[in-house]
């Protein structure tokens, strides 16, 4: 008996279907959250984060490490 025979008859196809449904649910949740009408202000603030001035990393200059 080969390992492929054991795995083939173990009925593991159920797990692939569950994983696909879980991925689809998370994907839909992310898309809904991104395109929800009330999220525009929050997403705009997050979009501008890389352009905001940073606090200095040097403790002598009063920055936080």
Q: How confident is the prediction along the chain (65 residues), in pLDDT tens digits per residue?
A: 888 888 888 877 788 899 999 999 999 999 998 888 888 888 888 887 777 676 656 666 655 55
Work out how many domains the chain is built from and give that number: 1
For residue 8, tell me if it sits in a domain.
no
* 33 in any annotated domain: yes
Nearest Cα residue to 17 out of 25, 8, 28: 25
Rounded to whole angstroms, what are the CA distances from 47 to 15, 43, 50, 61? 37, 6, 7, 27
Whether 7 is in a domain gets the answer no
Taking CA atoms, 24 is separated from 18, 27, 39, 44, in Å, by 10, 5, 21, 26
């Amino acid at each position: 008996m080969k390992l492929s025979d054991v795995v083939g008859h173990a009925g593991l196809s159920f797990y692939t279907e569950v994983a696909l449904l879980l991925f689809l649910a998370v994907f839909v949740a992310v898309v809904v959250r991104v395109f929800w009408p009330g999220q525009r202000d929050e997403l705009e603030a997050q979009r501008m984060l890389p352009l905001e001035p940073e606090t200095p990393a040097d403790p002598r200059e009063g920055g936080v490490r």
